[in-house]
Amino acid sequence: MRNIAIMLCAVLTAGMLTGCDTNFLPRSQDISQVELVRTIAVDQGGQDRVKITVSSGVKRTADGGSGKPLILEQEAETVFSACQMIQKNGSGYVSYGHVTECVVGTEAARMGIDRVLDYIQRDFEMRLDTLLFQMEQGEAGTLLNKTASKEASATERFQEIDRELPLKSQSWSCTVREFLVDLYDNGWSMMPVVKLVKERDGYGVGTSGMALYYETELADKLDIHASQGACLLLNQGKVGYMDVALTDSGVVGLKLTDTNCDWSVQWAGDTLTGMTAELQVTADLAEVSGTVDLQEKAMLQEIEKRLAAQITEKAVAALQKEKEHGDFLHLQREVAARYPGKIKQIREQWDQWLDTLTFRVNTQTVIRQSYDVGRGVEQS
């Protein structure tokens, strides 16, 4: 029996080596001809078609130098067809297994991004942890083309954006998975908005708040205030900064070291009447200009008060949008988690409650410390 098994294995191996039936075996790809796509751009094409632009990262040459990223573009009825046309075009092979960002053009966002989301969900190469971005204006493909240089590609730009989002605290990184989880929860979802920024030696990418989506279609764009408010209310983008202007003595630069939002819920019998956002913010004093005496307790209290007012203003801006559009902050989920026994009632009456619901924001700020500039000077 052992001999028969060995013979069978040998026959099978020999059969494979002849390559008599290529469909039977996995298709091999020459690694030197495989191009790894890192960023994919989705735009609205003509006649309900979709335009796909893909970009690789900066290419490394054999001598250690760098070359411009490869950018390819195709238009088709579906995202899949366009991607396939790009993949099978030319002698090389384009792999989508390493796509880390997907950027959507404004027109495509207005028409709905269900096709690209479905493609990413189903395709065996694409990943659900791909980051999503939306263009503030214009085509996403243009962004890929304009940001491509020998030093950087759109991929590097987006990775920088991903790192700086928490600092700016006006938006947060959103993956396809996170977008879909929110979307399937109540139809509302958000993604960060990016814009093309003219720089001295080319183009860069900047952020511009968050975009609101309802049922995969662009519903509105939150301005910077409301976006920052949404960040605070959803405990996203935790580390940020804020400048507080004082009445007569200049400006104070504050680094927000910790922000936390907790919700309390008010009921009148079985009716939800109010929700209060309890915001707690801890900040460090990073810069002071003008005549500010930090030894004065009243001055510190004044800074804290003004910081609280600014934060409250941002949270209120986000909550006003919540009232205007619908539950994009997913507060229903928050209430349901706190009151599991009332889940049926919450699901059925949420829309009705939202119209009459009173939102309150209670912000507490603490300035913990000032950076000791003098110590650094002494050490140097």
Partner 1 sequence: MEEEKISGRQFGILTFAMMLAPLVHAVPIRIASAGRASWLLTLPAVIPLGGMLYFLFRCLQRMPEGSGLADVYLLSFGKRWGRVCCILNALWIITLLVVDLRYYAERYVAEVYPETGMLLFYVAILLLVLWISWGSFGALVRTGKILFWVVTVTLALVLILAAPKLKLYNVWPVTDTNPREVGLGILRMAAVLAFAVPSCFLLGRVQWRDNKMGLLRWLVLLGITMLLIAVEILGVFGPELMARLQVPFFTLAKEISFQRMVQGFEIIVAATWVMTDTALTGMEIFAAGEVLGRAIPVKRPEYIRVALVCLVLPLCLLLPVSTFQMENIYKQYGMPFNGAMAYFLPCLALIVGKLRRRW
CB of 11 to partner 1, least distance (A): 11
CB of 269 to partner 1, least distance (A): 20
Contact between 71 and 55 (Cβ < 8 Å): yes
Q: 35, 125, 223, 284: which one contacts partner 1 (CB under 8 A)?
A: 125
Site size toward partner 1, by CB under 8 A: 34
Give SS3 for 207: strand
Largest CA distance in the chain: 96
Read off the DSSP letter of residue 315.
Answer: H
CB of 275 to partner 1, least distance (A): 16
Q: Which stretch binds partner 1 (CB under 8 A): 213-221, 315-323, 327-335, 358-366?
A: 327-335
Give SS3 for 12: helix
Q: Which stretch binds partner 1 (CB under 8 A): 21-29, 193-201, 279-287, 348-356?
A: 21-29
Strand boundaries in 170-226, DSSP class E: 188-199, 202-214, 217-221
CB of 185 to partner 1, least distance (A): 7
Binding mask 157-176 for partner 1 (x = CB under 8 A): --x-----------------
Using CB under 8 A as the binding rule, the residues of this chain from 179 to 198 that contact partner 1 are: 180-181, 184-185
Q: 29, 89, 121, 271: which one contacts partner 1 (CB under 8 A)?
A: 121
Which of 86, 79, 159 minimizes the C-alpha distance to 120?
79
Separation between Cα atoms, residue 350 and residue 272, nearest integer Å = 9
Site membership for partner 1, residue 11 (CB under 8 A):
no
Separation between Cα atoms, residue 282 and residue 365, nearest integer Å = 6
Q: 68, 115, 127, 360: which one contacts partner 1 (CB under 8 A)?
A: 127
* Neighbouring C-beta atoms of residue 99, cutoff 10 Å: 23
Close Cβ partners of 202 (under 8 Å, ≥ 6 residues apart): 146, 147, 149
Q: 128, 224, 265, 292: which one contacts partner 1 (CB under 8 A)?
A: 128
Contact between 205 and 161 (Cβ < 8 Å): yes
Site membership for partner 1, residue 31 (CB under 8 A):
no
Per-residue b or e along 302-332, where b marks 16 or more CB atoms closer than 10 Å to that residue's CB = bbbebbbebbbebbbbbbebbeeebbbbbbb
Site membership for partner 1, residue 129 (CB under 8 A):
yes
Q: 3, 17, 20, 26: which one contacts partner 1 (CB under 8 A)?
A: 26
Residues lying near partner 1 in the complex (CB under 8 A) are found at: 1, 5, 8-9, 12, 23-27, 97-98, 100, 121, 124-125, 127-129, 159, 177, 180-181, 184-185, 330, 333-334, 336-337, 340-341, 343, 347
